[in-house]
Structure 1
Amino acid sequence: MKKGYADLPLHYGTVPAWLAKRMALLGGAIVEAIVQEYGRKTFLQKLSDPFWFQSLGCVLGMDWHSSGITTSVMNALKKAINQRSSELGIYVCGGRGKSSRNTPTELLHIADKTGLDGNELITKSRLVAKVDNCAVQDGFQIYLHSFVVTIDGDWTVVQQGMNINDKLARRYHWLSSSVQSFTETPHTFIYGKNKGEILNLTDKDASTTKQGILELTKENPDRLMKEISLILSSHHEVREKDVNLKRLGAALVLAHETDVQDVESLLLLNGVGPRTLQSLTLVSEVIHGTPSRFSDPARFSFAHGGKDGHPFPVPTRVYDETIEIFDKALQRSKLGDTDKLEALKNLSKVSMEIEKNFKPSDNFHEWIENERKNSWKYGGKTIYGDAIENSSLIKKTGKKTNKSVIKKIDKNQLSLFD
């Protein structure tokens, strides 16, 4: 069963080292928390959900709608998971470009360690890539292939293709537990725009065609689920329509308008300030939330912002404190002390309780402006530099910000540090 795909605007460039390191640390903590609480199968199911994947990328500080979220998140997870594979029972293979071609070799190494059938896994990896690249010719050329496998033999694939003409990248998600056939209707549902006629040799009506000649088949609109309008958005900034304000508002109320001392007493999170509580609440939901909670991935960018400054700069000090809190909670739980891990789990529950009676107001832009205004207090960073108090510019380490740099920053980004 292919869990779906999402179309994303092409973004170029690399993730700065200061963010990549944090993504791996927090990503690893999130994966460990999910596996510890719900098991490896649940983690694979989450990874195969394009909405959840996008939400994870947002909570890790990536731009909420860009193609780079796929490469960056999978790189972070590969680094974090493979360092503790023996403990988690999960392995991540492949990646982008040359790394994708290393998948067969990596799978054989894993097979030697675990006793899994390496050749069978290689065959499945190749079939998944061939289906999306050849059997379904939709104009996207696969350039990233990440194969995630567990010691139980379950697997999921996240891969991405590029369409230069449309300047889009398309991400595809697969889940092994529901695959009945690679060559006939492996796509239970598809997210994305109906582009009209495509060559689809996996369609159930193509059985006679596969026996003889290939012909173009038209996607049946009735089989397409609602388009992910949020993920397909071309605009860079986070807008009100991209976020469920009732859900976001409840999380912000919990963090900033509830008596922190009462919350700390309830949740056993002593010493946690309102801003970190905001991030912890959103991370908690990524770990414990049900699928229906991820229909607005952009909301999770309110945990740690975005590297391009949308909706606000990445608050590195808050990010580090979030990582530290989750890491300590996980380590203590291994020793039998699960209080802090349960407290973190309860954050999302408390937020949903507040949400029931919460009425959204018109202060969405105030939330964003407040984050931008206070960004310097939390070690705010973007790919352009550091946030500065009472400055409309960006602090460039060791350099003066010149006009040629400013021209590359749109008006919204210039206002980040007002």
Structure 2
Amino acid sequence: MPRRTGSADLPLHTGRVPQWLASRMASLGAVVTQAIVHHYGRDEFLQRLSHPFWFQSFGAVMGMDWHSSGITTSVIGALKRGLGPLQDELGIYVCGGRGQHSRKTPDELRLLGDRVGLDGAKLTRASRLVAKVDSAAVQDGFDLYLHGFFVTSEGKWTVVQQGMNGERRQARRYHWHSETLKSFVDEPHSAIDGPEQGQIVNLTDHRADASRTAQLELLADLGPDRIVGEFDRLTGTEPAQAVLPHLVMPAHHDVRPKDVFARRLHGTLAAAAERGPIDFPELLLTPGVGARTVRSLAMVAEVVHGAPYRFRDPARFSLAHGGKDRHPYPVPIKVYDETILVLKSAVQNAKLGREEEMQAIKRLDDQARRLERTARGPSVDALIAAERAASPELDGRSVFGWERDFAAQGKRTGS
């Protein structure tokens, strides 16, 4: 049977990702994907995408707003751009997107099928059924506006789509995975992410099979005109809907201590300090940047190698590269660019059979897990304060501008 992995409350955010961040998200998303495929294969990457907590953490490590609905749009967009030139090499194709891009998904899938030999008609049917189930069979008050379809050269796929509830200023994300799909109408989701808000009509729940059958019988035996009269005689004996574990994304923008598993954070910091001088000595020759980059690499390494249970606190991954809205701190461009360069070098060398750099990055993750039980470190608030103080030196940037400009302005005004 297909499995549901949880749900999450996602504050609904509007706006666009600035180009300076969008280009970096595309680069980082592509190289992380390559690393996952290199170590674990295409199927595992699809599995990761279908896991809601990993997906949110992936977006957070890219510098997006760690708690918001915007992660869904930006991650799908970044992967579509970043994997485009690599799609035939990796055998992973990204279709769809937000708004009009969502509506073009069937055409994209048909063209892709013709080009690479997939069953385009079958994929198109799957895409349409997935959208129809989450817009009609699951009546939860969210209107779909985004549909991302990830498919491999073997025809396996994952769908990530999202709906919004404008009145509540909330979004709900739905995850599907073809490997666990037995039926489009009988518990098809790998996960549904979004806020709990009372009773939901979910005709895809396994326990609603009798209800689906009864509806067909009513249509056949009575016709639509008599169904309204029959409804008045019903006494409310529907079974309760399944309650999924869910990740609650708070409304506050700032990262607070309660949002982060400090033990795991301290393990990451300790691993970076311990393994960095051994595995990345050349980075440490860059004053003010190298050691900081190793810390970001350790967090990215967990996104590549971590087990599902490691992603229950997506806020922790925002401490790798900050966030575009200055939460938890401005994006440190020097660190971000160096992280991408190191990962690209590791991937390129691995393609040539030289695994040393890829294994060094993996050791960061291994060491973090070993150390987290005993490691001690700064509080979340202290770490964020230190990052904000260092931001001008690290080319910190947000949608509000460069941090060095704010610092210079503060000096001129004496504030």
- Normalising by structure 1, report the TM-score: 0.87
Give the structure 2 partner of residue 346 of structure 1.
363
Matched, 1:263 2:276: yes
Give the structure 2 partner of residue 307 of structure 1.
324
Please give the alpha-carbon distance, in whole angstroms, between the structure 1 residues aligned to 2:78 and 2:36. 16
1:87 is aligned with what amino acid?
E
Give the structure 1 partner of residue 224 of structure 2.
none
Please give the alpha-carbon distance, in whole angstroms, between the structure 1 residues aligned to 2:408 and 2:7. 39
Deviation of 1:37 after TM superposition, in Å, equals: 0.8
Q: Given the alignment, which residue of 59, 73, 76 partners 1:74?
A: 76
- CA 1:79–1:269: 2 relative to 1, 3 Å: farther
Q: How does 1:75-224 map to 2 (within 5 A)?
A: 75-187=77-189, 190-210=192-212, 211-212=216-217, 220=240, 223-224=242-243
Moved more, 381-390 or 171-180: 381-390
Give the structure 2 partner of residue 369 of structure 1.
385
Deviation of 1:390 after TM superposition, in Å, equals: 8.0
Q: How does 1:263-282 map to 2 (within 5 A)?
A: 263-265=276-278, 267-268=279-280, 270-272=282-284, 273-282=290-299
Give the structure 2 partner of residue 43 of structure 1.
45
Moved more, 341-350 or 245-254: 245-254
Please give the alpha-carbon distance, in whole angstroms, between the structure 1 residues aligned to 2:239 and 2:208. 12
Please give the alpha-carbon distance, in whole angstroms, between the structure 2 residues aligned to 1:245 and 1:38. 28
Q: Deviations over 1:114-141 (max 9, x none)?
A: 2111000000000110111111010000
- CA 1:274–1:186: 2 relative to 1, 3 Å: same
Deviation of 1:191 after TM superposition, in Å, equals: 4.8
- CA 1:127–1:4: 2 relative to 1, 3 Å: farther
1:228 counterpart SS class? strand
Residue segments in structure 2 that go unaligned for 5+ positions in a row:
219-226, 285-289
Q: Given the alignment, which residue of 333, 337, 348 partners 1:320?
A: 337
Q: Deviations over 1:188-217 (max 9, x none)?
A: 665544423222221233334332459888
Please give the alpha-carbon distance, in whole angstroms, between the structure 1 residues aligned to 2:5 and 2:409. 43
Deviation of 1:375 after TM superposition, in Å, equals: 0.4
Q: Given the alignment, which residue of 383, 387, 393 partners 2:403?
A: 387
Please give the alpha-carbon distance, in whole angstroms, between the structure 2 residues aligned to 1:97 and 1:180. 29
Aligned length: 389
1:86 counterpart SS class? helix
1:83 counterpart SS class? helix
Give the structure 1 partner of residue 346 of structure 2.
329
What is the root-mean-square deviation of aligned Cα atoms in Å?
2.4
2:246 counterpart SS class? coil
- CA 1:4–1:83: 2 relative to 1, 3 Å: farther
Q: Deviations over 1:291-348 (max 9, x none)?
A: 1111111100010000000010000010000001111111111111110111111111
Matched, 1:249 2:261: no
Please give the alpha-carbon distance, in whole angstroms, between the structure 2 residues aligned to 1:111 and 1:270. 45
Please give the alpha-carbon distance, in whole angstroms, between the structure 1 residues aligned to 2:237 and 2:302. 40
- CA 1:188–1:91: 2 relative to 1, 3 Å: closer
Matched, 1:293 2:310: yes
1:224 is aligned with what amino acid?
V
Please give the alpha-carbon distance, in whole angstroms, between the structure 1 residues aligned to 2:83 and 2:239. 37
Q: Deviations over 1:351-410 (max 9, x none)?
A: 11111212466x221111000000011100010001128839699xxxx99xxxxxxxxx
Native 8 Å contact 2:269 2:377 kept in 1:
no
Matched, 1:225 2:244: yes
Please give the alpha-carbon distance, in whole angstroms, between the structure 2 residues aligned to 1:204 and 1:359. 46
- CA 1:264–1:123: 2 relative to 1, 3 Å: same
- CA 1:60–1:351: 2 relative to 1, 3 Å: same
Please give the alpha-carbon distance, in whole angstroms, between the structure 2 residues aligned to 1:288 and 1:109. 34
- CA 1:110–1:3: 2 relative to 1, 3 Å: farther
Residue segments in structure 1 that go unaligned for 5+ positions in a row:
402-417
Q: How does 1:5-84 map to 2 (within 5 A)?
A: 5-84=7-86
Please give the alpha-carbon distance, in whole angstroms, between the structure 1 residues aligned to 2:321 and 2:44. 25
Q: Percent identity?
A: 49
